[in-house]
Amino acid sequence: MRGLLIAGHPDAGRDPLPEGWDWLILPGLTRGPEGWIPRRLGMDPAALRDLRSAALLATLDALDPDLFIADRHPFGIDGELRPVLEMLRARGCRTVLGLREVLDTPRVAAGEWEELGGADGVAKLLDAVWIYGDHRVYDPRLTGELPGPLARLAEPTGYLSAGRPAARPRRSDRPSPAPPPPYLLTVLGGGSDGAELARLALQATPPPGHRHLLITGPQMPTADLEELHEIADGHATVVRSAPDVPELIAEAAAVVCMGGYNTVAEVLDTTTPALVVPRARRRLEQPRRAAALAAAGALETQEAAGLTAADITEWWARAVTGRTVRSGIDLDGLAVVPRLAARLLDPSAAHEIAAPDVAAPDVTVPARVLPEVHSHAV
């Protein structure tokens, strides 16, 4: 099998790939005050969108994939994927939209679907929608975030957690910034907006005998990173990134983090107690995810507003005395997705493929989203 992973951030290409796979890194976009703007190229945003779309068309025309998966954004940024999907559908390629389990509030989600031209138009360009979560914890088909035409194509896969490196013994050939156990971990995802939580965590007092490791994320501004080094002053270890974050989470006595999907998915595949402080700016995806998982007993959560260093100190003291059992949550999405893909590519063999045992609700409820391109072609 051969395949291509398409991304819009250069950091993506650092991850290793199986034999026969490669990366296509597109010129980057980032959010500006008025919408998406070029990350580095000094050109008009619309011209960059057209450049990215042309690169995708040329690449996939040559690759001629059998399966294409769009991650989160069905049409990419500003519709750059729409002509790609139309070309692939005309060739018989199977097309999938992969979604995190939480999109946003139903009202915001509904508006975003309408901006895409409505759910019916999106559904016509797709064979399936895969929801990367446990429908018993959070189901966007029932909250109203996923409109009826797409909900009828949707299947939950379970969280993409089990099968990640978490809980494996750390590889001895990869240097790690972790202090000897027991240690506390604060991890901030990409880090672009995690400086305030990082300051509070560094000002908190670890339980006796515990060290503190803070991973800021590669996108934290340099000025903030330098300030955090000053606050740490040798009492904690501050690094921008680490090669083994899932293993570090698994081995930590407790973890404080934000509520992004990937960080939470890594936490769920461990027994490490977690305090999630979700970002509530711009989207409400993270608070809704944290609240649902807290209700399921998988973690604890506090709002960023009003959170103090003393709160983190108190939580650490309590959290390091035990572990968190998460065995009741479906974490097997990484095993389910290949089976769903095989079923799409060979419907005649569907009876031989163990698909997830979930009953899709009869969704005729009102529609409510979707929302840099992360796509996969095989």
The predicted structure's pLDDT at residue 173:
53
Sign of CA dihedral 254, 260, 263, 265: positive
The predicted structure's pLDDT at residue 33:
78
The predicted structure's pLDDT at residue 69:
97
Better pLDDT: 340 or 40: 340
Q: What is the pLDDT of residues 51-67, one digit of tens each?
A: 999 999 999 999 999 99
Beta bridge partners of 38: 29
User: What residues does CATH 3.40.50.2000 cover in the chain?
Assistant: 183-319
pTM of the predicted model, to two decimals?
Answer: 0.88
Percentage of the chain exceeding pLDDT 70: 89
* Average predicted confidence (pLDDT) for the chain: 88
The predicted structure's pLDDT at residue 39:
85
If DSSP codes are grouped into helix, strand and coil, which group holds residue 52?
helix
Is residue 6 packed enough to be buried (19+ CB in 10 Å), middle (13-18) or exposed (0-12)?
Answer: buried
The predicted structure's pLDDT at residue 64:
95
The predicted structure's pLDDT at residue 175:
66
Closest CA relative to residue 36, chosen from 7, 76, 71? 76
Ranking 13-22, 217-226, 245-254, 300-309 by mean pLDDT, the lowest is 13-22
pLDDT-based confidence at residue 363 (cuts at 50, 70, 90):
very low
Q: What is the pLDDT of residues 67-97, one digit of tens each?
A: 999 999 999 988 999 999 999 999 999 999 9
Distance CA 377, CA 21 (A): 10
pLDDT at 128 over 70: yes
Ranking 59-68, 70-79, 167-176, 246-255 by mean pLDDT, the lowest is 167-176
Ranking 109-118, 165-174, 266-275, 312-321 by mean pLDDT, the lowest is 165-174
8 Å CB contact between 323 and 297? no
Give the pLDDT mean for 176-186: 90
DSSP 366: P
pLDDT at 1 over 70: yes
pLDDT at 18 over 50: yes
Distance CA 81, CA 121 (A): 14
pLDDT at 225 over 90: yes
State residue 214 phi and psi, 5-degree precision: -115, 120
Cα 30–Cα 35–Cα 40 angle in degrees, nearest 5? 30
Closest CA relative to residue 132, chosen from 108, 162, 110, 111? 162
Better pLDDT: 323 or 377: 323
The highest-level CATH class for domain 183-319 is: alpha beta
pLDDT at 353 over 70: no
The predicted structure's pLDDT at residue 42:
85
Give the pLDDT mean for 282-298: 96
Tell me the Ramachandran region of residue 19: left when phi exceeds 0, alpha when psi lies from -120 to 50, beta otherwise: beta
Q: List Cβ neighbours of 232 (8 Å cut-off, separation of 6 or more).
A: 202, 214, 238
Ranking 108-112, 219-223, 301-305, 359-363 by mean pLDDT, the lowest is 359-363
What type of residue sits at position 284? L
Closest CA relative to residue 265, chosen from 167, 213, 331? 331
Sign of CA dihedral 242, 245, 249, 255: positive
Closest CA relative to residue 52, chosen from 96, 98, 6? 6
Would you state the structure tokens that stand for residue 240, as one six-digit string? 């921008």
Percentage of the chain exceeding pLDDT 90: 72
pLDDT-based confidence at residue 36 (cuts at 50, 70, 90):
confident
Q: CATH topology for 3-159+332-377?
A: Rossmann fold (3.40.50)
pLDDT at 365 over 70: no
Better pLDDT: 313 or 167: 313
* CA-to-CA dists, residue 370 to 80, 260, 285, angstroms: 15, 16, 11
